Structure 1
Amino acid sequence: MIHRFSVGDLSCAVISDGQPEPPWEPPLAEFFTPGSGVPEAELSDAVAREGAGRATLTCGYNCVCVETPAGPAVIDTGLGRRFLGYGPGITPLVGRLGDGLAEAGFPASGPVAVVFTHLHEDHIRGAVWSGEPTFPEAVAFAHAAEVVFWSDLTTALPEEQRRPALEAIRLFGERLRPVEYGVEILPHVHTVEAAGHTPGHTAILLRSRGERLLCVGDTFYDPLQLARPAWRTPWDHDAARSVASRRRILEWAADERLPVHAYHMPFPGLGLVERRGDGFAWRPLPY
């Protein structure tokens, strides 16, 4: 699936690396758990009142490709081909980014840059799934705190969580450029502080000719989480900071009608955020 659009003078495309359908959609109860501060009864009540009875999360892998004056760049790269981590049934449903780039008319040589919102497997494996760089000429950008965190072998993390990040760091080598928040890493491509989900989790702001798009990575997964910004997931490394970042970004997007790209929302993951009571609501943009 491909959706082309523009941000000012920037030609962009959302390219899906996959959109698992039933029965492969993950249960909401795996994302919003008692251990992450969401009691079972609270989740059930929210689903009954606002979730139209659904019990699963429509978890897309929506990669943004943007033609910058320096060349094409990809923001996050999906799970990549031959992925078995969620069971063999999902393998044929993901790994579509490469074909999508070709279909969308991006150069056969690949992007000049890969921008990672963070180094979780479902955002980076598409760039390294074969054991070699998928885009051999590309430089990569990730926040410096992200690189430090995943490189620290004393951190108490399961090996299966750490391995993909370490592989990406190793394969990109000197072409992985640690960055800070609030900088322009490519023409019209800026980093925005969104830490908490991971220590260096980064939102990416595209800005050209008065138009903007904020790519928020894993700041939120589902419209239920917009209505309840305090809801966390088991994958948020710093619970309090993830909530603070989510609320700050949602407030900014709502108050300035700033278009948002959400990596895991249903394809293409483009929408507006609106205030609703003490929380927020998601309004998908037509495509």
Structure 2
Amino acid sequence: MIYRFSVGRLECVVVSDGQPGPPFEPPLEEFFTPESGVPDDVLRDASHGRSTLTCGYNCLFVSTPDGTAVIDTGLGASFLGYGEYIEPLVGQLDGGMASAGLSRADLAAVVFTHLHQDHSRGAIWSGELTFPAATAFAHASEVAFWSGSVDLPSAQPHLEAARETIRLFGDKLRPFEYDAEILPGVHALSAPGHTPGHSAILLQSQGERLLCVGDTFYDPLQLTNPAWATPWDLDAPASISTRRQLLSRAADEQLLIHAYHLPFPGLGHVQRNGSAYTWHPVDVPDNG
């Protein structure tokens, strides 16, 4: 699945690495748990009978004056980490790139919102760099965290991919700080909490803007309930603060949002509804 659009002069295309559908959609109760602050009865009442979450892996390619970049890279091929069922349902980035006329060899940059495996493994899954000519970018705190001693249980499934990403890119991995312009028109915004260096990415060109929120939220339930955390938020209070700040800005400034895990292509707007928000996906025809 691919979807083309533009942000000013920045030509963009969302390429799906996969989007498992029924009966393989993950249960909501795995994402919102009593341990993460969402009691079972609260989840039941809020979900209105819905029991699963549609989890897409929406990788965003952006043509910049310095070359084409991809923001996050999916799970990659031959992935079995969620069970054998997942392998044929993800790792579709390569085929999507071909359909979009994108070459792995020509990609100039990889920008990571963070280094969880579902965002980074697509760049290193084969044991070699998927995009051999690309420079990689990740926040300095993200690189430092995964390079150090990691003992948090919820981080363990991601540790191997994160460290392999850091190792394979080597001196081609450029740590950045928040508020930096990574590439022309591509800016890093503060969004910590999900991981220590989790970053939002703001595209700006000719007065048009797009906010890539990474894992700031997985499901519209976190817009109607911004205080809901997940088991994968390493610092839940910080992740909640980040979510509130980014949603407030997106609503006030009417920003187009790219949400990595929402149904393809993950593009939409948010509107304020009291202390909560509602998600309004962009009506996109199949223009692949």
* TM surpasses 0.5: yes
One-letter code aligned to 1:224: L
Match of 1:69 among 65, 75, 87: 65
Partner Cα separation in structure 1 for residue 104 and residue 235 of structure 2: 39
User: How far did 1:116 drift?
Assistant: 0.2
TM-score (norm 1): 0.97
Partner Cα separation in structure 2 for residue 93 and residue 108 of structure 1: 21
Tell me which residue corresponds to 2:257: 260
Q: Which runs of 4+ in 1 moved over 6 A?
A: none
One-letter code aligned to 2:157: E
**Percent identity over the alignment?**
64
User: How far did 1:24 drift?
Assistant: 1.1
Is contact 2:31–2:230 with CA below 8 Å preserved after alignment?
A: yes
* 1:55 counterpart = 2:51: yes
- How many residues are paired up? 283
User: How far did 1:136 drift?
Assistant: 0.7
Structure 1: give runs of 5+ residues left out of the alignment.
none
* 1:189 counterpart = 2:224: no
Tell me which residue corresponds to 1:147: 143
Partner Cα separation in structure 2 for residue 211 and residue 159 of structure 1: 39
User: How far did 1:156 drift?
Assistant: 4.0
Match of 2:239 among 239, 242, 253: 242
Task: List aligned pairs for 1:1-287, cutoff 5 A.
Answer: 1-48=1-48, 53-153=49-149, 155-157=151-153, 159-287=156-284
User: How far did 1:176 drift?
Assistant: 0.5
One-letter code aligned to 2:268: G
Between 1:92-101 and 1:138-147, the stretch displaced more is: 92-101
TM-score (norm 2): 0.96
User: How far did 1:277 drift?
Assistant: 2.0
Structure 2: give runs of 5+ residues left out of the alignment.
none
One-letter code aligned to 1:170: R
Change (3 A) 1:154 1:40: closer
One-letter code aligned to 1:64: L
Alpha-carbon RMSD: 1.0
One-letter code aligned to 1:39: P
CA offsets 1:198-222 (integer angstroms, 9 cap, x no match): 0000000000000000000000011
User: How far did 1:97 drift?
Assistant: 0.9
One-letter code aligned to 2:116: H
CA offsets 1:58-116 (integer angstroms, 9 cap, x no match): 00000000000000000000000000011111101111111111211123523100000
